[in-house]
Amino acid sequence: MTTGELILRRPDDWHLHVRDGAMLRAALPHSSANFRRAIIMPNLVPPVTTSQDARAYRDRIVAAVPDGHDFSPLMTLYLTETTCPDDVACAFETGLISAIKLYPAGATTNSDRGVRDIDHVMPVLERMALLGIPLCVHGEVTDPDIDIFDREAVFIDRVLRRLCERVPELRIVMEHITTEEGVQYVWESGENIAATLTPHHLVINRNAMLVGGIRPHYYCLPVAKREKHRVALRRAAVAGNGKFFLGTDSAPHPDGRKESACGCAGMFTAPNTLSCLAHVFEEEGGLDQLEAFASLNGAAFYRLAPNEERIRLVKKTMPFDVSAKIDTGEGMLTVFDPGFALYWHPDRTYRADPGEAATKTRS
Ligand code: DOR
Ligand code: ZN
């Protein structure tokens, strides 16, 4: 039985890890089934640092899209201290890439080749500002003296504010913000500063990871923070402010690499992202803002047209069930468990009437 319905433009994912090889083939269909486009993270081993790498990776992704799915990867380059401004400019102007990703060296998975000294990448950032190329930022300092729960807030104060003063025209996406300081910074900044929010940071706080035992499948970076921050992120998501949009940061790792003495950061949320989001937006009384968050704001920031196609989510009395584990060929992969039942289901049979324009909500 259906108790609610939501029709919205097909969403896009403005921050996604799809990996390569067998993991790519296992993970990608869960995104391409729901999303029309996704900003693809470049932190492969070795990373995607040149336009040549990006072209080859794009072709491998396109080859892995299942028949019947309409999905375009939006490629990024991994910024290193030897990135060539001309290569970046040419890759953007020819439409090969949509953004550049800044990882502070050592901040997260496969970030060793990232940036140690921002001075060393200023020529690239200045060229990006001139051309309007977005910089996607993993906003955490790596200073060992800074507590891991404070690394985002300190990054804003020490790195981001100065960067914005030095290159005020640079268009920046603070990726996967996790703190009220992040929300406030983005809210108060100019139009060229935006942020992505992940479904998991809207659903869990740090207790999920640490209470009753260490739960590695809730470990990601930036790490989930205390409850007041989750509340701030939820408010930002439903506020209808165009600077906040969906970037799932769905980041698959085989269970063997998560369930380990030194487990990897990342949660695989792609299979139930839309169900989680509808649940959260409904709890916040903001279902009418879900389309802006998932389907409009990101496209506008990236200066792309929103998708024309519509999808339908239905609320049923039976929970939406995705397999808890997926066999990837590179080991089992655990799907994000929000810790509650999900009643919003994507309706895979839905085809919008031609010309249907209005977004409908009923719940
Ligand atoms: O949790 C995360 N996983 N955060 C990141 O920044 C990287 C990602 C990954 O690649 O696994
Ligand atoms: Zn990520």
Q: How far is CA 115 from CA 88, 102, 141, in A?
A: 16, 7, 11
Pairwise CA distance, residues 165 & 171, whole Å: 12
**Which atom of ligand 1 is closest in space to residue 253's alpha carbon?**
11
Pairwise CA distance, residues 318 & 219, whole Å: 29
Question: Could you state, in order of their start, the residue ranges of all structural domains in the chain?
Answer: 2-362
Lowest-pLDDT range of 106-110, 137-141, 215-219? 106-110
Question: Which pLDDT belongs to residue 353?
Answer: 62
Mean pLDDT of 5-15: 98
Two tokens at 237? 């998501």
| pLDDT of 309 higher than 80 | yes
Ligand 1 pocket member 27 (CB < 6 A)? no
Q: Which residue owns the Cα nearest ligand 1 atom 10?
A: 109
Letter for the amino acid at 173? V
CA of 16 to the centre of ligand 2 (A): 6
Cβ atoms of 278 and 344 closer than 8 Å: yes
Q: Which of 200, 264, 334 to mutate to test the pocket of ligand 1 (most atoms within 8 A of CB)?
A: 264
**Which atom of ligand 1 is closest in space to residue 267's alpha carbon?**
1
Q: What is the pLDDT of residues 162-211, one digit of tens each?
A: 999 999 999 999 999 999 999 999 999 999 999 999 999 999 999 999 99
Would you place residue 358 in the very low, low, confident or very high pLDDT band (cuts 50, 70, 90)?
very low
CA of 5 to the centre of ligand 1 (A): 33
CA of 222 to the centre of ligand 2 (A): 9
Q: Which of 17, 178, 217 to mutate to test the pocket of ligand 1 (most atoms within 8 A of CB)?
A: 17
CA of 16 to the centre of ligand 1 (A): 9
Two tokens at 360? 């409908």
CA angle 298, 302, 183 (to 5 degrees): 50
Two tokens at 319? 């929970």
Q: How far is CA 60 from CA 35, 261, 347, in A?
A: 18, 32, 28
**Which atom of ligand 1 is closest in space to residue 138's alpha carbon?**
6
Pairwise CA distance, residues 139 & 222, whole Å: 8
Q: Which residue owns the Cα nearest ligand 1 atom 8?
A: 266
Would you place residue 361 in the very low, low, confident or very high pLDDT band (cuts 50, 70, 90)?
low
Pairwise CA distance, residues 41 & 96, whole Å: 14
Ligand nearest to the CA of 110: 1
Ligand 1 pocket member 108 (CB < 6 A)? yes
Letter for the amino acid at 201? H
Cis check for the bond before 46: say yes or no (omega within 30 of 0): yes
| pLDDT of 82 higher than 80 | yes
Q: What is the pLDDT of residues 315-329, one digit of tens each?
A: 999 999 999 999 999
Mean pLDDT of 206-226: 98
Cβ atoms of 51 and 97 closer than 8 Å: yes
**Which atom of ligand 1 is closest in space to residue 266's alpha carbon?**
1
| pLDDT of 357 higher than 50 | no
Lowest-pLDDT range of 163-177, 227-241, 343-357? 343-357
Helix, strand, coil abundance in the chain, percent, nearest 5? 35, 20, 45
CA of 162 to the centre of ligand 1 (A): 25
In percent, how much of the chain has pLDDT > 70? 97
Question: Which pLDDT belongs to residue 363?
Answer: 53
Pairwise CA distance, residues 20 & 7, whole Å: 32
CA of 335 to the centre of ligand 1 (A): 15
Q: How far is CA 349 from CA 34, 314, 363, in A?
A: 12, 11, 20
Return the bridge partners of 197, or none: 246
Q: How far is CA 184 from CA 200, 236, 321, in A?
A: 20, 9, 36
Two tokens at 11? 């969403």
Q: Is 1.10.3470.10 the CATH number for 2-362?
A: no
- 117 is known as an active-site residue: no
Out of 87, 249, 255, 288, the active site residue is 249
Q: What is the pLDDT of residues 33-49, one digit of tens each?
A: 999 999 999 999 999 99
Q: With the C-alpha atoms ordered 208, 338, 3, 282, is the resulting torsion angle positive or negative? A: positive
Ligand 1 pocket member 26 (CB < 6 A)? no
Which residues, at least 6 apart from 194, have a Cβ–Cβ distance to it below 8 Å? 172, 173, 174, 186, 242, 243, 244, 245, 297, 301
Mean pLDDT of 254-260: 98
Pairwise CA distance, residues 303 & 134, whole Å: 10
Would you place residue 3 in the very low, low, confident or very high pLDDT band (cuts 50, 70, 90)?
confident
Ligand 1 pocket member 217 (CB < 6 A)? no
Cβ atoms of 160 and 154 closer than 8 Å: no
Question: Which pLDDT belongs to residue 355?
Answer: 54
Ligand 1 pocket member 109 (CB < 6 A)? yes
- Per the listing, tokens 């719940």 go with 363
Q: Where are the beta strands (DSSP E) in the chain?
A: 2-9, 13-16, 37-40, 72-78, 97-102, 135-137, 172-174, 193-197, 244-246, 310-316, 325-327, 332-334, 344-346, 360-362
